[in-house]
């Protein structure tokens, strides 16, 4: 019996290590994005910061799931997945509201700090997402796979952020910032629906 349990315990420890490592980075992302976003009046940057905080919460859900034997509980697994789905929906609602307000309000300023943050995050988040999804599939944990979807959303958000902030900084297209926010919101809704229904992810779980 112990020989059957040991591989799963090792995978659960790996899932926890990935969650801890991801959460440490998400706190750094949150602090930089929120500070730069407020300074520049950028909804896309603030949304990026909020997404980082939600990803931190999603990582906390995974840590909760794989503590005290909850990982073997189907009820705990489903509850964790639903909590992650709700985090996607919260992000989408916030971004839509703030993007609409941005179109009608003050124009955001250029933020080179935000551009630098997005340039670092865009290539690194897919690596973390792939690692989490792989462990999630090995554990048979849809919640872990869905949490990896959060990291992929962060990568998509980073690309949208680069485009939006870059267009504003280089071309003066202020409207690209809130437009990037709406693209992010649509992706969040798609991932949230997949997680709520119990689907692993919406892009093939590469």
pLDDT per position as a tens digit, 72-89: 566 766 777 787 788 778
Tokens encoding 71: 């990982």
Report how far residue 169's alpha carbon sits from residue 119's, in angstroms, rounded to the nearest whole number: 14
Tokens encoding 8: 């799963």
Alpha helices by DSSP H, listed for the chain, are 2-40, 43-65, 74-104, 112-139, 142-171, 176-197
Nearest C-alpha neighbor of 199 from the set 151, 135, 155, 133: 133
**Rounded to 5 degrees, what are φ and ψ at 172?**
75, 20
- pLDDT tens track for 148-163: 777 787 787 888 888 8
Report how far residue 206's alpha carbon sits from residue 204's, in angstroms, rounded to the nearest whole number: 5
Which domains does the chain show, CATH number per domain? 2-197 (1.20.1510)
Is the pTM higher than 0.75? The answer reads no
Instruction: Confirm if 146 and 84 have CB atoms less than 8 A apart.
Output: yes
What angle (nearest 5°) sits at the alpha carbon of residue 181, between those of residues 130 and 175? Answer: 140
Rounded average pLDDT per 10-residue block, the chain, 206 residues: 62 81 88 91 82 80 71 66 80 82 78 91 87 83 76 81 88 86 82 72 43
Task: Report pLDDT for 2.
Answer: 45
Is 79 exposed, middle or buried (CB count within 10 Å of its CB: 0-12, 13-18, 19+)? middle
Report how far residue 192's alpha carbon sits from residue 202's, in angstroms, rounded to the nearest whole number: 9
Is 69 exposed, middle or buried (CB count within 10 Å of its CB: 0-12, 13-18, 19+)? exposed
């Amino acid at each position: 019996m112990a020989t059957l349990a040991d591989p799963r315990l090792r995978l659960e420890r790996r899932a926890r290590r990935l969650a801890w490592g991801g959460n440490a980075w998400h706190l750094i992302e949150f602090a930089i994005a929120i500070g730069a976003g407020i300074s520049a009046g950028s909804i896309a940057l603030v949304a990026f910061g909020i997404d980082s905080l939600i990803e931190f919460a999603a990582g906390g859900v995974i840590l909760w799931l794989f503590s005290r034997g909850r990982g073997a509980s189907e009820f705990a697994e489903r509850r964790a997945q639903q909590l992650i789905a709700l985090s996607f929906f919260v992000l989408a609602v916030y971004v839509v509201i703030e993007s609409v307000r941005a179109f009608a309000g003050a124009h955001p300023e250029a933020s080179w700090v935000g551009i630098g943050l997005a340039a670092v995050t865009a290539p690194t988040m897919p690596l973390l997402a792939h690692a989490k999804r792989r462990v999630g599939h090995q554990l048979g944990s849809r919640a872990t796979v869905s949490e990896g979807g959060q990291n992929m959303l962060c990568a998509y958000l980073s690309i949208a952020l680069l485009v939006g902030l870059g267009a504003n900084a280089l071309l003066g297209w202020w409207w690209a910032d809130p437009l990037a926010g709406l693209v992010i919101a649509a992706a969040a809704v798609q991932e949230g629906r997949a997680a709520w229904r119990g689907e692993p992810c919406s892009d093939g779980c590469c």
